[in-house]
């Protein structure tokens, strides 16, 4: 019968949390906890660390507690795995785990291997697009591992161990039976100090940190997360996917702006509830700085940036695109953006489209994901849709707008992200003394909405072509209220028509 060996890669020089492998969780160093949980059902376990001098601390500790360890090149992790399995037969199996995922355990490994046996796949992995980060595991044969090591010399392949296997063998994308879903919200890896703090609390609440099943730990994580409120749903597919709420940052500048600590709390609350993107404008330079100062390392990885460029100048449109983007990158401390948007449609046409072409060149270089334009009104949609390579549009849209006209099909067909703002018309729609307030209050009650704010948001999101709504916040209480409304069911088409009719009667 083939043997199965679990190889756990670990090192001390983590960029975001150096030394975490030996930080204590559940009464023992993290790397030891991961190894003991993985070997609980009797599988062989070997920790593969580097031959750098500082990783002697890992090797020495594991030797004292009688957990096998091998050492090899720091950046050639594939070579370490070959060393860790050098005594196995070609038909034996390897499971790859990482030393910063303490929730993963022998039960998860056994379920993955059973799924591979049932499907006949030579390579299988936990599907990280559907399963919380921190439950990653990969399975493959010793022969496949040796083939990869003999075939590829690509630095990326050798650092990440399995890319060659996936390309060559195909893959089983495995989802365990007790997967809670919502992979970003229920993450359970130890990547930063706040992750470490959460992991300590999680394992301190158990009577046996080694034997507690991963599914039981995940149940606790889910219960704790749900206390804060529902997760904000997402819309779109692949690189076009966004949470319904995009966090606006215009409120991060000005005299009433929140402090750096408040900004950090707002960002953390947004990410924990499932917000995927933050929008920042180049004209709001202070907002960019505060965003950079408030973003902790794990938020940098989980919160994608949408950059609104500064207005372009006639005769220097391309140069202004470069200047605006590069300054934003410098302020944010990262040279990438999920999307970059010209501030007006006129800017996209300036200098015969030179600025637009330069923006698309950034996209071609892989620095910018999507490119788009900020529109001022719905009437600009036809001209915007003529832009070659258009991916993204922002637009003011609310219950006063009267719908999106005849452009919905074109937006859907092109797969364009449509993010709206001005949902509350600068607060006017929430003013009980404003004209039309009684109509909105009546509609809110008739349609079973919580309040006028709920009505306004559910109206916008009821238009299926709308990917997201941009909302800002100056404190976490305001943000949490908006996030809860974002998780509510949008208005159906007949109720949207009812709102349009009543608002038209009220004179809009």
DSSP per-residue codes, 278-331: EEEETT-HHHHHHHHHH--HHHHHH-EEEEEPPPP-TT-HHHHHHHHHHHHHHH
Domain extents for the chain?
4-222, 241-428+465-488
Q: Which residue has the higher pLDDT, 346 or 302?
A: 346
- Quick one: pLDDT band at residue 296, thresholds 50, 70, 90? low
Does 282 score more than 80 pLDDT?
A: no
Q: What percent of the chain has pLDDT over 90?
A: 77
pLDDT at 406: 83
Give residues with Cβ within 8 angstroms of 462, minimum separation 6.
490, 491, 492, 493, 495, 496
Give residues with Cβ within 8 angstroms of 400, minimum separation 6.
425, 429, 503, 508
DSSP per-residue codes, 70-108: EEE-SS-HHHHHHHHTTTS-TTSEEEEEETT--S--HHH
**Spatial separation of the C-alpha atoms in residues 483 and 324, rounded to whole Å:** 31
* Percentages (nearest 5) of helix, strand, coil residues in the chain: 45, 15, 40
Phi-psi region of 90 (alpha: psi -120 to 50; beta: other; left: phi over 0): alpha
Give residues with Cβ within 8 angstroms of 18, minimum separation 6.
12
Asked which of 2-11, 150-159, 221-230 is least confident by mean pLDDT, the reply is 221-230
- Quick one: pLDDT band at residue 347, thresholds 50, 70, 90? very high
DSSP per-residue codes, 199-223: HHHHHHTSS-TTTS-HHHHHHHHHH
**Spatial separation of the C-alpha atoms in residues 498 and 493, rounded to whole Å:** 9
Domain 4-222, CATH number (from 3.20.20.70, 3.30.300.30, 1.10.150.120, 3.90.550.10): 3.90.550.10
CB 212 within 8 A of CB 202: no
- Quick one: pLDDT band at residue 263, thresholds 50, 70, 90? confident
Summarize pLDDT for 408-460 with one digit per residue, the tens.
888 988 999 999 999 999 999 999 998 889 999 999 999 999 999 999 999 99
Query: Global pTM?
Result: 0.79
Give residues with Cβ within 8 angstroms of 329, minimum separation 6.
335, 336, 337
Give residues with Cβ within 8 angstroms of 409, minimum separation 6.
none
Domain 241-428+465-488, CATH number (from 3.20.20.100, 3.90.1150.10, 3.30.360.10, 3.30.365.10): 3.20.20.100
- Quick one: pLDDT band at residue 293, thresholds 50, 70, 90? low
Residue 191 corresponds to which tokens in the numbers above? 């990547």
Closest C-alpha to 480, from 271, 305, 307, 313? 271
- Quick one: pLDDT band at residue 297, thresholds 50, 70, 90? low
CB 442 within 8 A of CB 413: no
Mean pLDDT of the chain: 93
């Amino acid at each position: 019968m083939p043997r199965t060996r679990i190889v756990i890669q670990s090192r001390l020089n983590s960029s975001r949390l150096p030394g975490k492998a030996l930080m204590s969780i559940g009464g023992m160093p993290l790397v030891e906890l991961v190894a003991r949980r993985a070997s609980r059902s009797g599988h062989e376990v070997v920790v593969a660390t580097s031959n750098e001098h500082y990783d002697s601390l890992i090797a020495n500790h594991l030797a004292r507690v009688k957990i096998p360890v091998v050492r090899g090149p720091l950046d050639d992790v594939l070579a370490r795995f070959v060393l860790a399995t050098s005594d196995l037969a070609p038909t034996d199996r390897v499971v790859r785990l990482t030393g910063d995922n303490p929730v993963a355990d022998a039960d998860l490994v056994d379920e993955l291997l059973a799924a591979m046996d049932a499907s006949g796949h030579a390579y299988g992995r936990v599907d990280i697009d559907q399963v919380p980060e921190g439950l990653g595991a990969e399975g493959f044969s010793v022969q496949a591992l040796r083939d990869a090591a003999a075939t590829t010399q690509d630095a990326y392949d050798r650092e990440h161990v399995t890319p060659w296997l996936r390309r060559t063998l195909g893959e089983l994308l495995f989802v365990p039976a007790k997967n809670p879903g919502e992979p970003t919200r229920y993450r359970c890896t130890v990547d930063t100090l706040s992750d470490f703090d959460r992991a300590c609390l999680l394992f301190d609440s158990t009577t046996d940190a080694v034997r507690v099943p991963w599914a039981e730990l995940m149940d606790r994580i889910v219960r704790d997360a749900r206390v804060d409120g529902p997760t904000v749903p997402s819309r779109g597919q692949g690189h076009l996917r966004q949470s319904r709420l995009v966090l606006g940052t215009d409120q991060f500048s000005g005299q009433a702006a929140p402090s750096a600590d408040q900004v950090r709390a707002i960002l953390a609350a947004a990410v924990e509830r499932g917000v995927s993107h933050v929008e920042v404008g180049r004209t709001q330079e202070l907002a960019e700085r505060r965003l950079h100062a408030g973003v902790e390392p794990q938020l940098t990885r989980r919160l994608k940036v949408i950059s609104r460029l500064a207005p372009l100048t006639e005769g220097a449109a391309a140069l202004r695109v470069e200047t605006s983007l590069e300054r934003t990158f410098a302020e944010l401390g990262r040279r990438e953006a999920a999307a970059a948007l010209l501030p007006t449609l006129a800017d996209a046409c300036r200098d015969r489209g030179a600025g637009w072409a330069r923006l698309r060149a950034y996209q071609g270089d892989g620095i910018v994901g999507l490119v788009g334009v900020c529109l001022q009104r719905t009437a600009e949609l036809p001209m915007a849709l003529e832009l070659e390579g258009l991916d993204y549009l922002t637009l003011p849209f609310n219950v006063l707008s009267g719908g999106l006209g005849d452009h919905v099909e074109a937006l859907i067909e092109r797969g364009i992200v449509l993010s709206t703002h001005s949902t509350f018309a600068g607060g006017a729609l929430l003013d009980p003394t404003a004209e039309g307030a009684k109509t909105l209050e009546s509609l809110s009650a008739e349609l079973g909405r919580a309040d006028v704010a709920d009505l306004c948001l559910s109206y916008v999101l009821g238009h299926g072509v709308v990917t997201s709504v941009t909302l800002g916040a100056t404190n976490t209480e305001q943000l949490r209220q908006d996030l809860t409304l974002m998780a509510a069911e949008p208005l159906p088409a007949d109720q949207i028509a009812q709102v349009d009719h009543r608002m038209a009667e009220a004179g809009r």
